[in-house]
Amino acid sequence: MSWTKELIHETVEKQRAFFRTGKTLDRAWRIGQLKKLRDALKKHETALVEALHADLGRSAAEAYFCDIGTVILEINEILRSLRRWARPETHFSGFACFPSVITKVYKMPYGVSLIISPFNFPVFLSLGVLCASIAGGNTAVIKASSKSPACTRALTALIRETFPEEYAVVIDGGHDVADFCLEERFDKIFYTGSPKVGSHVMEMAARHLTPVTLELGGETGNWCVIRKDADLKDAARKIAFFKLCNSGQICININQIAVAEEVAGAFLQELKAEFIRQIGENAVSNPEYPRLITSAAYEKCASEAEQYRDRIVFGGTGDREKLKYSPTVIYPVDIHEPIVCHELFNPLLPIVPFQDAEIDRVLDTIAGREHGLALYLFTGDRKWARSVMSAQQYGGGCVNEVCLHMMVKGAPFNGTGHSGMGAYHGIWGFREFTHPSTVLMGSRHLNLPLREHPYEGKKNQWKMRLVRRFER
């Protein structure tokens, strides 16, 4: 189907009409839709795995672990708690409101939501967000990425078979189709992608004053800092695993490493050994190693690697036909060089050496740049790590670990500044797709004339005295 501006408008209006029926407000009905989505994921698992391999060269294990299984976990968490999350809260109104002492806070859906998903995790970052939208009681239009066409086709088939179009639908197409969507008046927009496009999404949403959630990669990347007291073998093992995952095309992946000069040589040896152990000496020829999404992405990666050819200490090889570029370690790199001042989104890994005693200078430099979506620290000094993690500005992160913070149940996944705004996963996603409506339950009896005119004169001085007492 070719999505035109008119067809998109018609689809949005159908969803708006369906939302106004009130059917999505019922918590039991929402739970039913989430169960249908979970069943559909299991039924379409093979098709999704094949699509992820076709678009990204992902292995079946990585496809399930990073995309399909993660959505199922998200659905299961929501199903366990949705009734409690959606239950209206009851508050004591306070003596100032007497005799109307009961206030309710209703968790209301926004209405028709727009979910714009990227290519790198096309299942998780579309259906994972859809889970939150359903939980909140919204309808959803999913604008899937044109860069991952096989996954978009698989998602379209899954959603079409599972839900009516007036409730949930997948739209494919390029930037022009995305702009057709953004021209519509949605009630909530959730975008995952780059800061540059995120700014455009906000600008378009501002025309309708539509609330926006942004999950962005960060303009200057995600730092990993390795102190001289770190367990180097452990750090290398975890970093190698993470950098191999999806060929580095992950918004929370390590973009650059700052390693204490005192242990830099030893760390490099451990890192090389781990890459070889996990993927072999020639990653490009390993069928388990994912590829870059487009020829443009490959050329960008290969071109930047060539600029640092004399400092490549591991990797540096690629296959244009397969769109695969090996994990590539570049050392040494100055902290102000271009390659560590922008997001890479590929398997290049520049390493910046520093004197361990000058760690504060490194952290000051990082803090002076745009906020990353993630920060990773490897150190034996947990007190220092806690002080850094509680002072720096970033989305989320780990100490002596990588990426698993986004898997923690009940914890938010979010960014700040150029790495985004808002949060989701579990209850945080439910909150992101609902707005709290405060309703005071008024009494028809015992009304006090406290707030009513007149206020002046001796007979009315008691009003001000009571107001002051109530508002202490």
What digits encode the pLDDT tens for the residues 270-308?
A: 999 999 999 999 999 999 999 999 999 999 999 999 999
Closest alpha carbon to 52 in 298, 247, 290, 299? 290
**pLDDT tens-place string over residues 196-219:** 999 999 999 999 999 999 999 888
Q: Give dist(CA 22, CA 421) in Å, integer.
A: 29
Q: Which residue has the tokens 């500005």?
A: 393
Closest alpha carbon to 148 in 173, 166, 165, 113? 173
> Among the options 97, 131, 245, 251, which is catalytic?
251
| More confident: 449 or 369 | 369
Q: Give dist(CA 247, CA 6) in Å, integer.
A: 38
Q: What is the chain's alpha carbon radius of gyration, rounded to the nearest angstrom?
A: 26
Q: How many CB atoms lie within 10 A of CB 416?
A: 19
Hey, which bits of 293-347 come out as E strands?
Answer: 312-314, 318-319, 324-325, 328-330
Q: Which residue has the tokens 């990653």?
A: 283
Please say if the pLDDT value at position 452 is more than 80.
no
Could you give the C-alpha distances from 410 to 74, 121, 177, 212, 386, in angstroms and in order? 10, 21, 35, 22, 21
Domains (range + CATH), the chain: 5-218+423-435 (3.40.605.10), 223-369+372-411 (3.40.309.10)
Whether 339 and 348 have beta carbons less than 8 Å apart is answered as yes
pLDDT for position 472: 66
The answer to whether 215 is a known catalytic residue is yes
Closest alpha carbon to 67 in 279, 296, 246? 246
436: helix, coil or strand? strand
Question: Could you write out the DSSP letters of every residue in 349-414?
Answer: EEEEEE-GGGHHHHHHHHHTSPPEEEEEEE-S-HHHHHHHHTTS-EEEEEESS-SGGGG-TT--EE
> Among the options 74, 77, 215, 370, which is catalytic?
215
Amino acid at 424: Y
pTM of the model: 0.95
Across the chain, mean pLDDT equals 95
The answer to whether 251 is a known catalytic residue is yes
Please say if the pLDDT value at position 447 is more than 80.
no
192 - beta bridge partners? 215
pLDDT for position 218: 86
